[in-house]
A and B are shown apart, each in its own frame.
Chain A
Amino acid sequence: MANAFIRWFDERVPGLAPVYRKHMTEYYAPKNFNLWYYFGSLALLVLVNQILTGIFLTMNYDPSATGAFDSVQYIMRDVEWGWLIRYMHTTGASLFFVVVFLHMFRGLLYGSYKKPRELVWVLGMLIFLALMAEAFMGYVLPWGNMSFWGAKVITSLFGTVPVIGKGLEQWIVGDYLPADATLNRFFALHVIALPLVLLLLVVLHLAALHEVGSNNPDGVDVKHGPKGNRWDPLKPADAIPFHPYYTVKDLVGVGVFLIVAAFIIFFAPTFGGWFLEHDNSIRANNLVTPAQIKPVWYFTAFYAIVRMVPSFAGTAVWGVIAMFGSIALLFALPWIDVGKVKSIRYRGTGYKVALTVFVISFFSLMLIGMDLTDTLFPKIFGSDIDITTWDNVFGRIMTVAYFGFFVFLWLYTHLGWEKTKPVPERVTTHD
């Protein structure tokens, strides 16, 4: 009977079945995907979760400055199962960034941003930008004290732009400081505008990928290898149909991911204050800044960069430029790194060292942004040290290291310093 329905549908929308075949059963992906290749489908899963739980939260949330905080407590206590829907949403938000960071890192490991996948990478970076905006606005909605002060600080970054800054900041905020107007417009953007943008970008991201085909951990183009596999004599020998092979494999990844997510949702929903910050249990108060004001953990590295670049010539805009620059450089990777060899497995030692330094710098910048160095450094180096100086020195070194990665990579690949290993003809599978 199901087949009869499919035939009825096919007669009326004949274009649909070929689309399904093109993107699922006849999309041939390299057969050597490893752990790093789970995070794309997981990101899609989290996106679906955010939308579903978000819709249900919107049913009971009050987007006014007077009612928002109370409405979140209403959801947590009075709405049947409201607490679960809310925790699924907040946990999903943080896990979204865990998954997306790891997904992007895969790109760095295997050169997934290189030709012909530059557009896939750029679209992905646009998703990342939209995601950051979406997360920032979402965090403002509970209108806790961190929500308010986070909104204040981030919008004031726009105020550092010379000449037009103050006007720009006020235009974004819609008032003299974050207030009802700000909350309402962030609500509209967070609930409708950015989700639509995200969905569109994700569709384009996948379409662009499927046009050129997936990369793989060896960075070897399967299309250049021998033709003919057991499903299709014309398709690459080292590729397999996405459905059913990667759908069932990704399902296992989904299972493991959900176990991790369930642990957090049911046993540690605030994750020690890192996913749901303690100061946000206090209502927004424009007269009292939280003692330990900091952005949510996924922004901390970029925020640390803002803090580390000093003001001069009467403006603090340099830190803001540096922060945007740190993301802009990621956009430009396909043109910074022009090395022919894609995968780290066959690249020069210099690349491996540089990437390690990059990872260390990113984590270190996170430590600074999270104010963890304030307790860590005295523990390691003695309680009488001047925290600010140590922070600045450490943070500035790490900022230089972060940017240095891109500078080094440009020189390394443009000036021919890289000495690569021989790349195999075909993918190597490790069973």
Chain B
Amino acid sequence: MTKRLISIVLLGLGLLAGSASAWAEGPELPAAGNNLRDQASLQRGAHLFFNYCVGCHSLKYLRYSRMAQDLGLTEQEVLKDLDFTGARFDDPVITHMPATVASKAFGKVPPDLSLEVSAKGADWVYAYLNSFYLDPKSPIGWNNTILPNAAMPFPLWKLQGEQTAVMGKDGKTVEKLQLSHPGEMTPAQYRQATRDLVNFLAYASEPAALQRRKYGVWVILFLVLFTFLAYLVKKEYWKDVH
């Protein structure tokens, strides 16, 4: 009876885990589909971040040296291709734009992105990067369906091109976005680029993720061996009881 109860509970938990999520409710998000084990993708993502994002956004909890170690980059490569602020190799990634300047330009300080993927989820960030559109009513000329009236202009417009909104029947809600002006990348290439960028940010949120799975395999194998041995001991001693 207990065994049946356990199976029912586990089944219930499984269904629950599958259907419900701990993410904030909102529109269905496309899957980012990023893979932390794809180091080439992480490197491309890093390049994109340092070319298009670090002008305003910091990753203050991530050190260049840690990034080099985890992404398989040399100190030379990092200091030449990625570090444009003249920071030391073991310094954290800090944007050069002073907060006061950013505040004046955008109305708010561009947030640090070290934990953005932890907080919002890879899917959300991926959707956000793919959902900018031209909006003549906005003071910065851009808007975003995932974060309406965001203070952020679109830094990747050269790559993606420009999207415009197709409004719904009520004239107020955005029904869908269409590419009105192509960019340097095809839509598929751009989606991959944002996937790489999100992959890099996911890594930045939790660098330990790259190693913990490896250790986990060994730990669990060891524990299985130990439990098996403990079980044999139990069976041996309990011969006395039966």
**A interface list, Cβ under 8 A from B:** 31, 34-36, 70, 73, 76-78, 83-84, 87, 230, 240, 244-245, 248-249, 251-252, 254-256, 258-259, 262-263, 265-267, 269-270, 272-274, 277-279, 281-282, 291-292, 363, 370, 372, 374-376, 379, 431
Contact = CB atoms under 8 A, between A and B. Distances in A.
A74 to B, nearest CB: 8
Contacts of A249: 234, 238
A266 B233 contact: no
A84 B212 CA distance: 8
Interface stretch (B14-22, B154-162, B174-182): B14-22
Nearest to B17: A272
Contact of A35 (B2, B120, B205, B237): B2
A36 B2 contact: yes
Contact of B230 (A252, A272, A374, A375): A252
A33 to B, nearest CB: 11
B212 A77 contact: no
30 contacts: A31-B241, A36-B2, A70-B61, A77-B207, A77-B208, A83-B208, A84-B212, A84-B215, A244-B237, A245-B241, A251-B233, A251-B234, A252-B227, A252-B230, A255-B226, A255-B227, A256-B227, A258-B223, A262-B219, A265-B212, A265-B216, A266-B220, A269-B212, A270-B118, A273-B22, A279-B119, A281-B118, A281-B119, A375-B19, A379-B19
A243 to B, nearest CB: 10
B213 interface: yes
Interface string B219-242: 110011011001101100110111
* Contact residues on B (Cβ < 8 Å of other chain), bracket: 35 or more
Interface string B138-165: 0000000000000000000000000000
Contact of A292 (B19, B24, B120): B24
A278 B220 contact: no
Contacts of A274: 22
B118 A374 contact: no
A291 B24 contact: yes
A256 B223 CA distance: 8
A278 B216 contact: no
B22 A252 contact: no
B80 to A, nearest CB: 24
A266 B219 CA distance: 9
B115 interface: yes
Interface in B49-106: 61-63, 66
A379 B219 CA distance: 39
B115 A273 contact: no
Nearest to A217: B2
Contact of A77 (B21, B66, B234): B66
B230 A255 contact: yes
Contact of B234 (A83, A248, A282): A248
B119 A282 contact: yes
A97 B195 CA distance: 37
B206 interface: yes
Contact of A83 (B2, B12, B66, B212): B212
B200 to A, nearest CB: 15
Given A248-B237, A266-B212, A281-B119, 20 more contacts: A70-B61, A77-B207, A77-B208, A78-B63, A83-B208, A83-B212, A240-B240, A245-B237, A248-B238, A251-B233, A252-B227, A252-B231, A258-B223, A263-B220, A266-B215, A274-B22, A277-B22, A291-B25, A375-B20, A375-B25
A281 B220 contact: no
B114 interface: yes
Nearest to B234: A248
Contacts of B231: 252, 255
Interface centre among A34, A251, A252, A273 (most CB of B within 10 A): A252
Nearest to B117: A281
A252 B20 CA distance: 33
A59 B158 CA distance: 48
A249 B217 CA distance: 25
B23 A278 contact: yes
Given A245-B238, A278-B118, A272 B213 contact: no
B199 to A, nearest CB: 17
Contacts of B63: 77-78
Contacts of B219: 262, 266
B110 interface: no
